[in-house]
Amino acid sequence: MAVLSEADLIAVRRSLHRIPELALHEIQTQAYIEEFVKQLDCAWLSVKHVPAVPTALLVRLEGTAPRRTLGYRTDIDALPVEEQTGLPFASNHPGVMHACGHDVHITVALGILAYFAAHQPKDNLLFFFQPAEEAEYGGKRVYDAGAFAGRFRPDEFYALHDNPALPAGQIATRMGTLFAGTTEIHLTFTGKSGHAAFPQKANDAIVAAAAFVMQVQTIVARNVDPVRGGVVTLGTFHAGTIGNVIAGSARLDGTIRAFRQADIEMMQQRVRQIAEGVAATYGVQAALKLIQGGYMPVENAPKQTADLIHYMKHAPAVDFAEVAPAMTGEDFGFLLQQFPGTMVWLGVNDPQHSLHAANFSPDEAALKPGVAALVGFLKHRMEEE
């Protein structure tokens, strides 16, 4: 297989868009990637599976004069979203959609891989096709399984995420933290249900949960340095069955986000304290789960990021921009704590729709310049000491 043309890249992206799969269930997607890799018929290519995370795939290219191994990671899972784009290549899987553009991510990775399968790299290259970015922190799972060992251990790691607010094909990043770290909040208050006419005989979980909702709003306002920022959002509140029955339980789900891990841990502790205080005040039981998994802040490494920014700024065919950090979460943050590297945005020009929206439709004109920019950078990086 030769280097992929723009038409090839679009065909790959549309094939992947039709078969979105949820975290840790990316069976068809992995099979598509494996078949693509097989068709490369490359003598310096090897593949590694991860039994503990069966839908993960590592592809290694042996360099001609390797001094290190450069890693490139792409996420392959989709979201539980019913697609509403009306595209002729829309999802074939009801209730599941590539609403975060991971089909674009995979396509760019395969384009880079195809180039270096036809032009043997100087340094070793490791491509990590990662399941479970949207949920279940697949990067940490694969790392904890010991997959990045021996010949499959990268010295540096790079990745991208598409951005609908940026022009198609634009590369953007920044020194320091690019994305926030996140923590899931799952909380259930359990009281005692009863007749609405006899509140003294019940213990209202809704009143307790409502107090919790109000009190957690003070965490960012009164505990986080306003220069640094943070978010505590509660996205669900489920309680009760009918208006004349006092609810005996209430469940809330939400998220904590901040740019610094120390702030995330402080915010986690405040959520615990408030949940415990509300439970004591209202005489209910609180069952709280805080799950961070691998969703650490995406902290770009200084040396690698400075080199990437310098290259992108001076590459004549690259449209590059430096950007502010975003509260977006990404489990590539965990891998960047283990290996130095950089994450970038790839503009996909759909400013009317946000990531995770049912009508999100990336501009496929971003594919070819995305591949070209990253191929160029990796070739440049191989010449750096």
Same domain, 205 and 59: no
Tell me the per-residue pLDDT of 92-148, one tens digit each, with 9 for 90 and over. Answer: 999 999 999 999 999 999 999 999 999 999 999 999 999 999 989 999 999 999 999
CA separation for the pair 260, 254 (Å, rounded): 19
Query: Is residue 74 in a domain?
Result: yes
CA gap 88, 18 in Å, rounded? 9
* Residues 133 and 263 grouped into a single domain: no
Residues facing residue 176 across a β-bridge = 300
From 291, 325, 360, the end of a domain falls on 291
**What tens digit of pLDDT does each residue of 31-82 get?**
999 999 999 999 999 999 999 999 999 999 999 999 999 999 999 999 999 9
Query: How confident is the model over 213-265, as pLDDT tens digits?
Result: 999 999 999 999 999 999 999 999 999 999 999 999 999 999 999 999 999 99
Together in a domain, 11 and 159: yes
Is residue 30 in some structural domain?
yes
The residue whose two tokens read 């802040």 is: 297
Which region among 133-137, 212-216, 266-270, 342-346 has the lowest average model confidence (pLDDT)? 133-137
Residues 161 and 227 in one domain: no
Q: Is residue 320 part of a domain?
A: no
Helix (H, G, I), strand (E, B) or coil at 61: strand
Q: Would you say 23 and 132 are in contact if contact means Cβ atoms under 8 Å apart?
A: yes
Residue 237 resides in a domain: yes
Contact assessment for residue 180 and residue 257, using Cβ atoms and an 8 Å cutoff: yes
Mean pLDDT of the chain: 97
Q: What pairing do the DSSP bridges indicate for beta strands 171-173 and 341-347? A: antiparallel
Domain of 135: which CATH number?
3.40.630.10
Q: Where are the alpha helices (DSSP H) in 241-366?
A: 261-282, 302-314, 332-338
Three-state secondary-structure class, residue 384? coil
Tell me the C-alpha distance between 58 and 66, whole Å.
Answer: 18
Q: Is the pLDDT of residue 3 over 90?
A: no
For residue 321, the surrounding DSSP H or E stretch is: strand 320-322
Task: Give the DSSP H or E segment for 126.
Answer: strand 124-130
* Residue positions counted in the chain: 385
Whether residue 167 is predicted with pLDDT greater than 50 in this model: the reply is yes
Answer positive or negative: Cα dihedral of 100, 323, 155, 72: positive
Residues 42 and 67 in one domain: yes
SS3 40: helix
CA angle (311, 372, 159) in 5-degree steps: 70
Query: What H or E segment, with its residue span, contains residue 374?
Result: helix 367-383
316 within domain boundaries: no
CATH of the domain at 280: 3.30.70.360
Of 276, 291, 306, which one is at a domain's C-terminal end?
291
Same domain for 131 and 187, yes or no, is: no
Looking at the fold, whether 121 and 184 belong to one and the same domain comes out as no
The identity of residue 258, as a single letter, is: A
**pLDDT, tens digit, for every residue of 278-287?**
999 999 999 9
On whether the CB atoms of residues 31 and 57 are closer than 8 A, the answer is: no
Q: Does residue 313 belong to any structural domain of this protein?
A: no
DSSP run (H or E) holding 69? strand 69-75
Question: Domains in the chain: how many in total?
Answer: 2
Q: What contacts 210, CB < 8 A, 6 or more positions away?
A: none
Whether residues 276 and 161 share a domain: the answer is no
User: Position 35: which residue type?
Assistant: E
CB-based burial label for 68 (10 Å; 0-12, 13-18, 19+): middle
Digit-coded pLDDT (tens) for 175-201:
999 999 999 999 999 999 999 999 999
- Residue at 343 is within a domain: no
pLDDT in tens, 11-20: 999 999 999 9
- If asked whether residues 256 and 279 sit together in one domain, one would say yes
Same domain, 162 and 201: no
Same domain, 27 and 161: yes
The token pair that represents 234 in the structure block: 């509660």
- Residue where one domain finishes, among candidates 291, 309, 327: 291
- Within-domain flag for 308: no
Range of the domain at 248: 180-291
**pLDDT exceeds 70 at position 1:** no
Catalytic residues: 75, 134
Q: Do 19 and 148 share a domain, yes or no? A: yes
Helix axes 205-223, 261-282, angle to 10 degrees: 150
d(CA 355, CA 369): 20
CA atoms of 130 and 51, how far apart (whole Å): 13
Q: Quick one: pLDDT band at residue 2, thresholds 50, 70, 90?
A: low
